[in-house]
Amino acid sequence: MTVEINTSLGRIDVSNDVIATIAGGAAVDCFGLVGMASRKALKDGFTELLGKENLSRGVNVLEQDGQIEIDLFIIVSYGVKISEVAHNVQTKVKYTLNQTLGLDVSGVNVYVQGVRVSEP
């Protein structure tokens, strides 16, 4: 599936994988975020922390009636306010997609899959 952007010079088709990679990269830059989690449901209470090469696997891009909605599955650091981290991720992803691709994202849904306690 692709998102179509029409300009005065022609048409641009952007793959959902590209949108997911940009959104994942923007999310990882936020304070309090340890990384992206797999979109799969929890297996035996463990979530899979994805590396930087797999950022798009923690992002789901939905397109309905010309509206784009992003689902992010994240793991946060212990001791941070989860609601603030989620809000920062929503704001940063929406802003980055607007500035990079000119996309007007209708919603950014954040699903916190886990909390990571760092080693002392």
Listed by start position, the domains of the chain span: 2-116
E-strand stretches of the chain? 2-7, 10-15, 33-36, 59-64, 67-77, 105-116
CA-based nearest residue to 26, from 113, 79, 105: 105
pLDDT at 120 over 50: no
What pLDDT does residue 46 have? 47
- CB-based contact 88:30 (threshold 8 Å): yes
At residue 100, the pLDDT reads: 92
| Mean pLDDT for the stretch of residues 49-63 | 71
pTM comes to 0.82
CATH of 2-116, one of 2.60.120.10, 3.40.640.10, 3.10.180.10, 3.30.70.1350: 3.30.70.1350
pLDDT at 44: 43
* For the chain, percent of residues with pLDDT exceeding 90: 42
